[in-house]
Structure formats: C-alpha cells, structure tokens
C-alpha cells in the first residue's frame, strides 16, 4: 500500500529519565494518521508514577506538570492496553503495525519495557520507523532536525511545554510532509521505506542550509528598525531591534558560535518582515511593544502577561494598584523589594529566622547561611550602613545610603570573588549580599520615581549623526513621535496629572516601555547625543542634569 494511503500509528512518550532503569513514563500520546490528511483525534494519557516517586523539578519545568500530582494518571498496564487497541485499529497488514516516532531510539526502550511487562508473550506489535532518521537522510544540510525545528521548518508550531499531545500532533504533521519528500525520491510504500532506511546514511553535513534565502536578508535596508522572523505559515518566531537591519539579521545566520536554541529557531525561519524606524531608540521601544503583542516563542525577555507592582511604605503589602502616592512603584514584580524588606525588618529588631536570613541575602532558605555566620556578617553590615535605616523617616535616607553603596559597587567592593564554586558562606560574603540587597532596593525605588515622571513627559533627543526627534508620552503610551525642529525650543508640555494618577496608569507593558526608554536615553548620552525632558510646564531636564540623574537609576 502506498505511504500516502497507509494508516500509521504515531506515538510520543514523555518520561522522567532516559531509560526505564533511570526514569518512568510520565505521559504517552498516540494517534492514527494517514499521509494524505486523515487523522484521528490525539489521545494523551498521564501515567501514574510508582508510589514514592516524584516528578523531578527540571521535568516539571519542561512539561508544566505539577510535581505534587505524580500519583495521578493511569497505570502502565492500562496505557499498554490503549496502545494495543490503537494498533489493532490501524493495522491493515498482518503482523506489526506501521508506527512513526520522531526519535524512535528513545521511545522504543520504554515501549519494549511495557511489552515485556504486559505483552503476555505476544510479538512486539509495532513496526517502528524514526522520523528523525528519515529527515537526516532527506535534509542533510538542515541545521537542526529536532521535533520543534523540523515541524517549524514545514510550517507547524509546537507548544513550548513538552507534552505528548502537541508532540504527537507535530509528529503526525511531520510524517505527512516527509511522505511528500520520499515520493520525490521514488520511495512510495512501507517496504520501500524500510529498504531505503537500511541503506547507508550520508555522512553528517558540515554545511548549514537555512530556508531563508541569502538574497532576502541582503536586500534588507541598512537602517535602524525592528525585524520579525517568520515561519512559512506566517507565525512570528522572534522579534528583534537593529541599528542596521541588514547587518543584524545577517549576523544571526553568519556568526560562528550559535546556540542550539538559535539554530532550532533559524531552521524554521522562511521570511523576514521589517519596520524601519527613524532612530535606534524608537526601534527599541517598538521592539518591546511588538514582543508584547505577538509573544514570540524565542523571545525570552519582555514577554507579556506581567503586571507592574506597588509596595506599601512599610513594605508589608504588594498590589497591582497603589493605594496612595506614598506607595513605592512601579516595580517589576511583587517580590522586587523582598530582600530589602528583610534587611530593614532585621534592622528594626525582627526575630531572626533562617527564612529571614535567606530573604535578606537573596537566596532560598535551604541555601541561607547558618546563624553564627549570618550574625557575624550582619554585625559588619550594621557597623557600616544600618544607622540611617533605624529612623522612622528612613526612606529618603535609605535612598541616599543606596547611592553611597552604588559608588562602592563602582569601586568593586561589592563584587563576588571569582570562581566561587558553591553556596559556602563567610561573614564577608554575608555583608556583601546584604549590601547588594540594599543597593538593588534603592535602585528600584529611584527607578520607580523616575518612571512615574516619564509617564507624562515629552522627550527631545538627538542620537549621534542623526536629526532631533520628539516623543510625547501620556500614561506611559506614545502619543506623538516626530522630527523636532531646531528652532522650536523645548517640546510643549501636556496635561499635568498628580503622582498617584501617573502611578496607577502602569501595567507590565508600560513599565517595560519606559524602562527601555531609560536605557536608551543613557546610551544616547554616552554616545555624545543630546536629551531634553519636559516633565511639566515648569521643569525641563537637559543633558548635563540627566547624565547625573541617570547614573543612579
């Protein structure tokens, strides 16, 4: 029977280890598929782990499965019965059912283990081919042939979490595409495929052939802007900013050292869509907005679904909306001031506990220093720094003290010793971590005040060798972006809202946008450009004052 008309069983297994001796089945998925398009609904079933076993932390992170739910699911014998029933439905030939697994060498050891335990002496029911091995022979120059890379190359996205349902669906999709490629090689039925796989495979290729044509990236403009890397189906894989779109995109494909994750992504890129911008600064702002809008799978930073947070003046409560203008924020997370809050609690006489020690030095309780070491490090810290924080009017003094610590950091006194191999503690290390907790809290607090000012500001800037530009913000959103005429003076001030109203306008997207703006303003000034900011109708911050102000934000 032709491959295009053959019902095949597609199987995927997720496990806690590489072999049955090192791990257990966690999830099994299967479907019956036909290359010309028909496919049953995917079945995905959890497997209950043996009593006393837990899902390893790294596996829980990769799959999204709750570690505490290790006992939930079906018994392995029930999973085997389900697979046998599916094999019986799929089989149109006598003997083992044609079966496709993406990386068969991995799944086969678990399937054979199930057969040995529950097969009742029957022959192994699956005649397995490996989709990865087929792709290795058909597409030897493709940079990566893992399931995510290969499915994406053909135009199918795979969920980030490693789950059997999405992997089974992706393997069935890849199989349909591979059958088309095999037909072009005159491999048209299962026996021919089996014979073809028995032939010697070509040697691994040293050449990388990316699906994006070289001519396409070389035709990009030599200008600042934002680029989006696309699958063949139009999915956005990655969003980036560039000083030169042509050079930055080309660097992705030509740089010598490339990570596995980057090669996986580049294997899927079939097109580039760009938006040129007037300046690099505006490219950076557009990048963060585009990442929030599209949530591309290969962007790690600036992802969406994150809030801005505010902390009460006593640091005891965190909310997404500030109660008064005295609250501290916006902050990047509800835990942003946790370490400083622990330091201040100890300074005000809180009962010392291992949990409080860990929060103060910024580590989990299990990695915290012992009591004697912490007390010795705390004594050194108190002698240097803690007096300003004992005052009930401590906040302004704290911010000032953290500026002193910032200068110390610039002199290198807070740096960790190189080559520290583990979480061993000594008093000096405790003191350095306490100083860092105060420093980071101070920087976050100053940045919060600054971002609240920027939320309703007008910004005029000139990058080196560029024309002046004007941006007008209201509530953290860009209302105006245009050239600024040299004889027009400072930008006109807009409506002035009180501090609480400005704070309340923040969400995660606005926080990131204005944080990126701050970083870009620092860059513009460091490269010899000019910046002026009108914060209300009475105040304008210019280059010299901004250079001083931004050094501590």
Domain-by-domain residue ranges, the chain? 3-198, 214-294, 309-445, 455-550
153 dihedral zone (left: phi>0; alpha: psi -120 to 50; beta):
alpha
> What CA–CA distance (Å, rounded) separates 267 from 156?
12
Q: What is the CATH number of domain 3-198?
A: 3.30.420.10
Q: Which residues of 248-271 are buried (b: 16+ CB within 10 A; e: fewer)?
A: bbeebbeeeeeeeebbbbbbbbbe
> What CA–CA distance (Å, rounded) separates 288 from 272?
18
List the structure tokens of 198.
């028995």
- Strands 126-130 and 97-101, by their bridges, are parallel
Q: Can you give the pTM of this predicted structure?
A: 0.86
Is 299 in contact with 320 (CB distance < 8 Å)?
Answer: no
pLDDT in tens, the chain (553 residues): 789 889 999 999 999 999 999 999 999 999 999 888 778 899 999 999 999 899 998 999 999 988 878 888 999 999 999 999 999 988 765 678 999 999 999 999 999 999 999 998 889 999 999 999 999 999 999 999 999 999 999 999 999 899 999 999 999 999 999 999 999 999 999 999 999 999 988 887 778 899 999 999 999 999 999 999 999 999 999 999 999 999 999 999 998 788 999 999 999 999 999 999 999 999 999 999 999 999 999 998 777 667 899 999 999 999 999 999 999 999 999 999 999 999 989 888 888 888 999 999 999 888 899 999 999 999 888 887 765 555 545 545 555 555 544 554 444 444 444 444 456 899 999 999 999 999 999 999 999 999 999 999 999 999 988 899 999 999 999 999 999 886 655 555 556 689 999 999 999 999 999 999 999 999 999 999 999 998 876 667 887 788 888 887 8
- Strands 7-15 and 97-101, by their bridges, are parallel
Other C-beta atoms closer than 10 Å to the C-beta of 205 total: 13
Name residues whose C-beta falls within 8 Å of residue 527's C-beta, 6 or more positions apart in sequence.
Answer: 463, 464
For residue 414, the model assigns a pLDDT of 43
For residue 389, the model assigns a pLDDT of 52
Give the closest residue to 403 by CA, choosing from 450, 432, 362, 438: 438
Per DSSP, the residues of 252-264 read HHH-S---HHHHH
For residue 480, the model assigns a pLDDT of 93
Give the residue carrying structure tokens 């095949």: 8
Give the residue carrying structure tokens 């029933």: 85
List the structure tokens of 311.
């902390």
Pick the CATH number of 214-294 from 3.50.50.60, 3.40.1440.10, 2.60.120.200, 3.40.50.1370: 3.40.1440.10
> What CA–CA distance (Å, rounded) separates 201 from 346?
66
Cis amide bond preceding 350, omega within 30: no
The helix/strand/coil state of 459 is strand
């Amino acid at each position: 029977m032709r491959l295009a008309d053959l019902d095949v069983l597609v199987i995927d297994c997720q496990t806690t280890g590489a072999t049955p001796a090192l791990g257990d089945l966690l999830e099994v998925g299967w479907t019956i598929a036909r290359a010309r398009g028909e496919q049953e609904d995917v079945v995905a079933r959890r497997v209950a782990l043996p009593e006393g076993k837990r899902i390893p932390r790294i596996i829980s992170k990769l799959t999204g499965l709750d570690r505490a739910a290790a006992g939930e699911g079906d018994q392995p014998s029930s999973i085997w019965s389900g697979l046998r029933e599916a094999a019986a439905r799929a089989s149109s030939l006598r003997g083992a059912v044609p079966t496709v697994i993406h990386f068969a060498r991995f799944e086969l050891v678990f399937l054979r283990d199930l057969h040995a335990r529950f097969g009742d002496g029957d022959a192994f029911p699956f005649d397995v081919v490996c989709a990865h091995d087929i792709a290795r022979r058909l597409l030897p120059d493709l940079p990566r042939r893992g399931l995510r890379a290969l499915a994406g190359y053909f135009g199918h996205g795979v969920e980030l979490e490693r789950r059997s349902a999405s992997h089974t669906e992706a393997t069935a999709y890849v199989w349909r595409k591979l059958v088309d490629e095999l037909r072009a090689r005159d491999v048209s039925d299962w026996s021919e495929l089996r014979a073809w796989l028995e032939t010697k495979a070509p040697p691994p290729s040293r050449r990388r052939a990316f699906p994006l044509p070289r001519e396409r990236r070389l035709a990009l403009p030599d200008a600042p802007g934002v680029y989006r890397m696309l699958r063949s189906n139009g999915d956005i894989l990655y969003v980036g900013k560039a000083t030169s779109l042509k050079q930055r995109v080309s660097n992705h494909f030509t740089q010598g050292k490339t990570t596995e994750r980057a090669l996986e992504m580049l294997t899927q890129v079939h097109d580039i869509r760009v938006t040129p911008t007037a300046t690099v600064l505006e490219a950076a702002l557009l990048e963060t907005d585009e990442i929030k809008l599209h949530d591309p799978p290969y962007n790690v930073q600036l992802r969406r679904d994150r809030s801005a947070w505010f902390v009460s003046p006593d640091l005891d409560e965190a909310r997404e909306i500030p109660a008064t203008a005295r609250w501290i924020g916006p902050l990047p997370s509800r835990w942003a001031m946790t370490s400083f809050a622990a330091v201040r609690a100890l300074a005000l006489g809180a009962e010392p506990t291992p949990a409080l020690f860990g929060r103060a030095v910024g580590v989990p309780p299990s990695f915290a220093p012992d009591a004697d070491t912490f007390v010795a490090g705390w004594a050194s810290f108190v002698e240097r720094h803690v007096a300003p924080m004992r005052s009930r009017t401590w906040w302004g003094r704290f911010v000032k003290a953290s500026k002193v610590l910032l200068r110390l950091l610039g002199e290198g006194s807070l740096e960790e010793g190189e080559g520290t191999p583990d979480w061993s503690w000594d008093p000096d290390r405790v003191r350095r971590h306490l100083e860092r907790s105060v420093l980071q809290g101070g920087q976050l607090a100053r940045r919060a005040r600054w971002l609240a000012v920027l939320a309703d500001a007008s910004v005029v800037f000139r990058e080196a060798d560029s024309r002046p530009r004007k941006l007008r913000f209201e509530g953290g959103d860009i209302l105006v972006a245009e050239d600024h005429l040299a004889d027009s003076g400072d930008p006109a001030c807009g409506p002035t809202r009180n501090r609480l109203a400005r704070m309340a306008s923040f969400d995660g997207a606005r926080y990131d946008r204005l944080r990126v703006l701050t970083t870009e303003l620092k860059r513009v000034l460091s490269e010899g450009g000019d910046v002026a900011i009108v914060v209300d109708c009475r105040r304008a911050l210019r280059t010299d004052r901004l250079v001083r102000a931004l050094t501590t934000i």
